[in-house]
Amino acid sequence: MHKYMTLFLGVAFLAGCCFANDSTLFPKTSYKTAVGTEYVSAALIEKTWKTDPKVDGTWPMPKPVDTSMYKDATDGVKGVITASTPGSNSKEEVGNLFDNDQKTKYCTPSATPWVQYQFPDGVKPSIVAYAFRTANDAAERDPKEWVLQGSDDGKEWKDIDAQKGIEFLSRFEIQLFKLKAAVSYQYYRLVVKANHGGEHFQLSEIELFVNK
Ligand SMILES: [Ca+2]
Ligand SMILES: [Ca+2]
């Protein structure tokens, strides 16, 4: 009896190790993303995770980022969205950055554009963090260096945050940037200072977060 109990515990221990290892490498549960809850099949993750993107053009799955403590201030708001350069075509315009759809992107023939979100008059959300989601292809178009600015009139700008040397490892990957202190402006502008070497710049989503 004692022998069987030891065997049982040993098997349970090994199973526990395997499960812990699996869930680290290939998360099987659903997870919250900035655009909703995603369900990812373990088989798909395993296949793509083990594939070198530089060899055959497929990419590892994005790592989960928990943004559930935030609410995107641009959701459900009719802001005015503008950019320094138009989209590469009519299907890739700047409004795609704020439509909560990772399959649509702003792709523009400039390595260093700016993007502006103007909240309606009287709306000045208290932003505590922001997030970018990369698009479907072409990592050389991802943002690498930028400044996020805020303004009360769209003319005088103050730097809110600056980032350098940022790398995105996956397509459709979200990266979250937390501000040192909350800021409150009607206008927010992302000024891209460098991408990863492409002639175009692109992202699929930008989110400006307030605390829930
Ligand atoms: Ca959004
Ligand atoms: Ca989009």
CB within 8 Å of 95: residues ≥ 6 apart: 81, 106
Q: Where are the domains of the chain?
A: 2-51, 70-211
Distance 104 CA to ligand 2 centre (A): 4
Hey, which of 9-23, 34-48, 128-142, 186-200 has the most confident mean pLDDT?
Answer: 186-200
Q: Cα(106) to centroid of ligand 2, in Å?
A: 7
Q: What is the b/e burial string over 61-84, where b = at least 16 CB atoms within 10 angstroms of the residue's CB?
A: bbeebebeebbbbbeeeebebebb
Reported confidence tier of residue 57, pLDDT bands at 50, 70, 90:
low
Ligand 2 center to 132 CA (angstroms): 10
Residue 37 vs residue 168, higher pLDDT: 168
Greater confidence, 173 or 212? Answer: 212
Its CATH architecture, for the domain 70-211, is Sandwich (2.60)
Tell me the pLDDT tens digit for each residue of 67-114. Answer: 899 999 999 999 999 999 999 999 999 999 999 998 999 999 999 999
Q: What is the DSSP letter of 121?
A: T
74 Cα–ligand 2 center, Å: 13
Lowest mean pLDDT among 7-11, 64-68, 102-106, 189-193: 7-11
Which band of pLDDT confidence, cut at 50, 70 and 90, is reported for residue 123? very high
Task: Record the tokens describing residue 98, joined without a space.
Answer: 């704020």
pLDDT exceeds 80 at position 173: yes
Here the tokens at position 84 are 């320094």
Ligand nearest the Cα atom of residue 75? 1
User: 206 has which bridge partners?
Assistant: 132
Which ligand is in closest contact with the Cα of 74? 1
Which range has the worst mean pLDDT, 10-14, 111-115, 149-153, 161-165? 10-14
What count of other Cβ atoms lies within 10 Å of the Cβ of residue 88? 17
Q: What is the DSSP letter of 60?
A: P
How far is the centre of ligand 1, averaged over its atoms, from the C-alpha of 70 (Å)? 11
157 in Cβ contact with 190 (< 8 Å) = no
Q: Is residue 146 a contact partner of residue 162, using CB atoms and an 8 Å limit?
A: yes
pLDDT of residue 212: 96
Q: Judge whether 177 and 129 are in contact, CB under 8 Å.
A: yes
140 is written with which tokens? 């050389």
